[in-house]
Amino acid sequence: MRLIRRLTQGPNRSLGLGLLALVGTVLTGCAKASELPQSPFDTAGPVARAQTDLMTLSLWFAGGIGLFVTVALLFVVFRYRDKKGNDKSVPKQIQGNHKLEIAWTLIPIIILGIVGVPTVQTAFATRATQDPNDLHVIVTGHQWWWEFEYPQLGIVTANELYIPTDKDVQITLKSADVIHSFWVPKLAGKMDVIPGRENHMFFNAEREEEFFGQCAEFCGTSHANMKFRVQSLTQDKFDAWVKARQAGAATPTDPDALAGMNLFMGANKSKANCIVCHTIDGTNAKAKVGPNLTNVGARSTIGAGLVENTKEHLMQWIRNPQSLKPGNKMAAHPNLTEQELEQIVKYLQGLK
């Protein structure tokens, strides 16, 4: 602490603050990549690995060029600086050095060629295909949540994407409103999600893990809260998840949960009418305005990765969603009594 006070006080205060900022910046890179939830350096698939290798190669060349230019600049500054007693006349003017000019023209061309070849190879290796044996998922970006549709399986879900390990997943990207960007750093680089246009990408998860994703393009008030998760499962676990999802939602037997289902379906429209916005497979709720809630009870978070999926958070979300996620389009339900709110939450938590 004494050293920090010396550095940040007195005539050398600016220099001290600059050194502390530099040290802090360097130390932020000391964490292991595997300990960071969204690090592109902890790759878990061939697409992310190829892109990270290309980025690392480019960084080496950029760092080398930066170091060379810095050394050359410092050499010129100190070697040819004005000295006391120097003749103040204009220095001798000379013609350019043709050999040097040819060299500094050829060297960048060679460097661009070295970087360009793997760049083109990586672009072709990571482009999406239309192989029918792959798993296809249509990803639609909404303000501010993600919709995942499995056209081969007849499943639609939201904010948590389930995939099998060691299988290529072909992604079709669409937007329902504004420009978004789909990014799962450990699996693949970001790809823009543009209204009126389809973009395509793919990735492959080599290990069973929960991967964190994020919208990487500013898209409005709750852009920072537009998160999602990718759950990679072994093939057996994925098949079990598919079977459970395709079965739809069962009618609850618990009286409170059943009462909650009736409220959800609009039995008392002055209290709640969730059926006009949401889908629950196997019921009369078939609206497409908000997220599909068929398996909402099994999701680890609500609000597109915003908060943990607990009874308290669900109750707060239904009663006043703006208190959790400003700007979202979910309607508030202030007229629900505490008992009615608990009944709806019990029904939703049973949807697994």
Prediction pTM value: 0.81
Q: What is the pLDDT of residues 181-192, one digit of tens each?
A: 999 999 999 999
**Where do runs of H (alpha helix) occur along the chain?**
2-8, 13-27, 46-79, 98-125, 235-246, 255-264, 311-319, 338-349
Q: What is the pLDDT of residues 234-253, one digit of tens each?
A: 999 999 999 999 988 888 88
Res 3 pLDDT > 60 = no
The more confidently predicted of residues 90 and 352 is 352
- Rounded distance between C-alpha atoms, residue 144 and residue 146, angstroms: 7
Q: Are strands 209-215 and 180-184 parallel, antiparallel or unpaired?
A: antiparallel
Q: Write the pLDDT tens digit of every residue in 212-223.
A: 999 999 999 999
Q: What is the pLDDT of residues 334-347, one digit of tens each?
A: 888 999 999 999 99
In CATH, what is the architecture of 37-64+100-233?
A: Sandwich (2.60)
Q: Where in the chain is the domain with CATH 2.60.40.420?
A: 37-64+100-233, 255-349
Instruction: Return the number of other C-beta atoms located less than 10 Å from residue 274's C-beta.
Output: 23
Task: Collapse the DSSP code of 179 into the 3-class scheme (helix H, G, I; strand E, B; otherwise coil) and give the result.
Answer: coil
CATH 3.40.50.720 corresponds to the domain 255-349: no
Question: Rounded to whole angstroms, what are the CA distances from 219 to 20, 181, 188, 288, 335?
Answer: 35, 9, 21, 21, 31
pLDDT, residue 78, reads 84
Could you tell me the strand order of the sheet in which 227-233 lies? 160-164, 227-233, 209-215, 180-184, 188-193
Mean pLDDT of 312-318: 93
Of the pLDDT bands very low, low, confident and very high (cuts 50, 70, 90), residue 163 is: very high
Rounded Cα distance, 310 and 15, in Å: 49
Comparison of pLDDT for 166 and 11, the residue scoring more? 166
The answer to whether residues 271 and 335 touch, using CB atoms and an 8 Å cutoff, is: yes
Mean pLDDT of 172-197: 95
User: How far apart are the C-alpha atoms of 210 and 182, rounded to whole Å?
Assistant: 16
**pLDDT given at position 202:** 94
Better-scored residue on pLDDT, 70 or 22: 70
Q: What is the mean pLDDT of residues 323-343?
A: 90
Q: What percent of the chain has pLDDT over 70?
A: 88
- Positive or negative, the CA dihedral 258, 264, 265, 267 is positive
The C-alpha angle 281, 223, 135, rounded to 5 degrees, equals 45
Is pLDDT at 93 greater than 80 in this prediction?
no
**Percentage, residues of the chain above pLDDT 90:** 60
Question: Over 90: is that where the pLDDT of 10 sits?
Answer: no
Most distant CA pair in the chain, distance: 99
For 17-35, how does the pLDDT look when each residue is reduced to its tens digit (9 = 90+)? 556 555 555 555 555 555 6
Q: Quote the mean pLDDT of the chain.
A: 87
Q: Are 182 and 217 in contact (CB under 8 A)?
A: no
Residues 253 and 259: their CA atoms lie apart, in Å, by 10
